[in-house]
Amino acid sequence: MAKKHDFSPTEWNTLRDTPYLVCIAVLLAGSTGFVTVGQLLAFALQIVEGQNADSSLLRELTSRSETQSAEVSVRQSLRVARGTPSSDSIRRRALEQARASAEIAIAKASEPDALAYRRLLFGIAEKTAFTARAERFAGFEPEPTEAEALFFAQLRRILEIELVKRA
């Protein structure tokens, strides 16, 4: 089971900050661009699930102190960019960081921890987008926007997550 001390500070920060970037990229890929309370709750619930996960890596990454550090770090990194970053640039950055963090997890964490981390990232994307769609169309699950579908496909390929068919 991987712990914080198994990673360099840069690697740890990449692992810690990536879920936030993935969430932001999904929020911006939605058709309206508006962030809802439900979407933020979906993200928060994923973090809480991480705090209660079997994976020690997820528990450490989603601890209160790491969550606070990630919020500050991501906020600062988005402010560094001149002007407001475009949704496309944030999507590209989230995908690049997802690739880097998946490689770090695979290289330094146990196989179960690495898989749990990759599933956490994809789960954040999926649940955030689903909540947005459910709020737009209460009562049924509409199709993802084109931008969401593209982001999911790219993220799934990067994270090597198999699509599970729903009954």
Higher-scoring residue by pLDDT: 72, 28: 72
pLDDT, residue 166, reads 44
Higher-scoring residue by pLDDT: 147, 143: 147
Residue that has been written with the tokens 């789960």 in this structure: 123
pLDDT, residue 125, reads 87
pLDDT, residue 86, reads 81
Residue that has been written with the tokens 């640039």 in this structure: 89
Task: With beta carbons less than 8 A apart as the criterion, state whether 19 and 121 touch.
Answer: yes
Alpha-carbon span 2 to 56, nearest angstrom: 7
pLDDT, residue 167, reads 41
Instruction: Map out the domains of the chain as residue ranges.
Output: 4-159
- Residues 83-93 have pLDDT tens digits of 677 888 889 99
Alpha-carbon span 83 to 103, nearest angstrom: 31
pLDDT, residue 165, reads 45
Question: How many other C-beta atoms can be found within 10 angstroms of the C-beta atom of residue 110?
Answer: 15
Residue that has been written with the tokens 């928060």 in this structure: 44
Instruction: Kindly give, in sequence order, each residue whose CB lies less than 8 Å from that of residue 137, ignoring residues fewer than 6 positions away.
Output: none
